């Protein structure tokens, strides 16, 4: 592929860059855009190992969500309240950052609401319900919206769902088309003068006093002054000791006999199961809590135990009396950690990290990319 480069190709892509960003997802593209906003004319190259973004940016369910009640309460059992609610605020404001950069129509954004459903097996529902006033109070302090979560069991009657006993709703979440989002970001980045190369896997990074060499596969070497790593769940390839755990989630799109409509994004069991509809089809994903150890991987293979669980969930709760077929089935790799806050830090004055999106890349990826860009631009002062 790279053994027959023309002068024009080599001159455009392979002279020394000012900045190389590894990863062409939400974070990487936003970082590239921000660098070019602050340094017009800079030579900025984004490289990506896949033909399309390899991580979760185009493999997610397209939820513009910030944390369901049961998920937030679980987070509060292991993290201080200040940390949990400050992160919630970052997710909420992060969507506004995203919408400032992308017109809602261009990314199919709809503020359609978010819902957490509970069934008889949800033994902790009473505890969750009793904590709604506390959650609402803390959320209002940060985003100035009262009664963010509300019990709304009447709404269950209007959804084509079965077997759920309770529903907590918020009107402030929504859905997007993640592929359209990435496309819009790529258009903006290249319009500003940025360059993107797909199909390059970085084997290693070598650093000298004033430049960095990236040894890539296929066999080619790239040179740059600074690198920002934005590969989220794949970060350990470069820094094995970094506190980022790859986490696989699988997603199915199901075509029922009759079109189904569920307006909004739905969560069950602390966000481990999520579903929505797309053009009359059902999208459902998650279930990694059934086999956490196996799912902490960068492999995109499917886990039959989880696939069967998701199919049975559909049969039990959504498409009880319909035949259906699976039209799409894929896996995406997230980047998690002992805490859900992102890592935006310098390794040294030439290499930076903007990773660990905690399963909330749609919500916080824009802000993480912006902060990562500003960090690497100003990195000469790092000691």
Residues 6+ apart with CB under 8 A from 105: none
CA angle centred on 305, ends 303 and 308, rounded to 5°: 105
The stretch 75-94 carries a mean pLDDT of 96
Domains of the chain: 7-58+181-243+339-381 (3.50.50.60), 70-178+245-335 (3.30.9.10)
Instruction: Please list the residues that pair with 44 across neighbouring strands.
Output: 19
Contacts of 195 by beta carbon, 8 Å cutoff, 6+ apart: 12, 13, 43, 44, 45, 46
How many CA atoms lie within 13 Å of 272's alpha carbon, on the beta-carbon side? 17
Nearest C-alpha neighbor of 270 from the set 45, 138, 92, 76: 76
Give residue-wise pLDDT tens across range 39-53.
999 999 999 999 888
CA terminus-to-terminus distance, the chain: 40
- pTM of the shown model: 0.95
Cα separation, 310 vs 284, whole angstroms? 7
DSSP letters spanning 181-201: HHHHHHHHHHHTT-EEEES-E
Tokens of 80: 């201080």
Most trustworthy range by pLDDT among 110-124, 129-143, 206-220: 129-143
Backbone angles phi and psi of 90, in degrees to 5: -65, -35
| pLDDT tens digits along 242-281 | 999 999 999 999 999 999 989 999 999 999 999 999 999 9
Q: Is the pLDDT of residue 2 over 70?
A: no
Contact (Cβ atoms closer than 8 angstroms) between residue 120 and residue 66: no
pLDDT confidence tier of residue 381, bands split at 50, 70 and 90: very low
Structure tokens at 182: 């990435």
**Is the pLDDT reported for residue 122 higher than 50?**
yes
According to the model, what pLDDT value does residue 344 have? 98
23: nearest Cα among 47, 58, 43, 59 = 47
Strands 17-22 and 220-229: parallel
d(CA 348, CA 353): 10
Taking 70 as the threshold, does the pLDDT of residue 168 lie above it? Answer: yes
**Does 347 have pLDDT greater than 50?**
yes
Distances in Å between the Cα of 337 and the Cα atoms of 140, 270, 276, 313 are 27, 17, 26, 28
| Rounded Cα gap, residues 39 and 377, in angstroms | 9
Residues 6+ apart with CB under 8 A from 100: none
pLDDT digit string (tens) for 275-291? 999 999 999 999 999 99
Helix extents (H) in the chain: 7-13, 26-38, 69-76, 81-101, 125-130, 132-143, 178-191, 292-295, 304-317, 361-377
> Do 25 and 334 contact (CB within 8 A), yes or no?
no
> What letter would DSSP give residue 16?
P
Report the candidate in 195, 205, 254, 235 with the shortest Cα–Cα distance to residue 14: 195
Q: Which residues pair with 250 in a beta bridge?
A: 331
- Confidence check: pLDDT of 382 > 50: no
Tokens at 335, concatenated: 């980047």
Q: How sure is the predictor about 208, in pLDDT bands with cuts at 50, 70 and 90?
A: confident
Residue 1: predicted pLDDT: 56
Which DSSP string corresponds to 120-134? TT-TTHHHHHHTHHH
CB–CB of 111/172 below 8 Å? yes
User: What integer best gives the mean pLDDT of the chain?
Assistant: 95
């Amino acid at each position: 592929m790279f053994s027959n480069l023309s002068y024009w190709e080599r001159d455009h892509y392979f002279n020394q860059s000012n900045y190389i960003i590894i990863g062409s997802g939400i974070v990487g593209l936003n970082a590239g855009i921000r660098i070019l906003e602050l340094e017009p004319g800079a030579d900025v190259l984004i490289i990506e190992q896949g033909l399309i973004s390899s991580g979760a940016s185009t493999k997610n369910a397209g939820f513009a969500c910030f944390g369901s009640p049961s998920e937030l309460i679980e987070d509060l059992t292991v993290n201080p309240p200040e940390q949990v609610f400050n992160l919630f605020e970052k997710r909420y404001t992060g969507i506004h950052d995203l919408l400032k950069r992308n017109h809602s129509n261009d990314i199919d954004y709809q503020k359609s609401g978010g819902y957490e459903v509970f069934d008889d097996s949800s033994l902790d529902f009473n505890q969750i319900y009793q904590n709604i006033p506390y959650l609402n109070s803390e959320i209002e302090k940060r985003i100035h919206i009262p009664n963010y979560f509300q019990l709304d069991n009447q709404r269950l009657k209007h959804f084509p769902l079965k077997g759920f006993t309770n529903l907590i709703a918020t009107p402030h979440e929504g859905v997007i088309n993640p592929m359209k989002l990435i496309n819009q970001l790529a258009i903006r980045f290249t319009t500003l003068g940025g360059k993107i190369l797909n199909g390059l896997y970085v084997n290693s990074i070598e650093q000298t006093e004033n430049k960095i060499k990236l040894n890539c596969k296929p066999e080619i070497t790239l040179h740059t002054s600074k690198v920002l790593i934005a590969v989220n769940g794949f970060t350990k390839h470069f820094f094995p000791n970094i506190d980022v755990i790859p986490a696989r989630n699988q997603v199915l799109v199901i075509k029922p006999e009759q079109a189904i409509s569920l307006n909004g994004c739905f969560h069950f069991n602390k966000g481990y199961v999520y579903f929505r509809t797309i053009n009359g089809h059902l999208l459902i994903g998650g279930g990694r809590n059934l086999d956490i150890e196996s799912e902490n991987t960068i492999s995109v293979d499917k886990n039959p135990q989880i696939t069967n669980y998701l199919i049975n969930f559909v049969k039990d709760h959504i498409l009880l009396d319909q035949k259906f077929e699976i039209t799409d089935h894929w896996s995406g790799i997230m980047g998690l950690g002992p805490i859900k806050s992102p890592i935006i830090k310098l390794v040294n004055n030439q290499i930076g990290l903007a990773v660990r999106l905690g399963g909330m890349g749609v919500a916080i990826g824009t802000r993480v990319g912006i902060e990562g860009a500003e960090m690497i631009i100003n990195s000469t002062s790092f000691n």
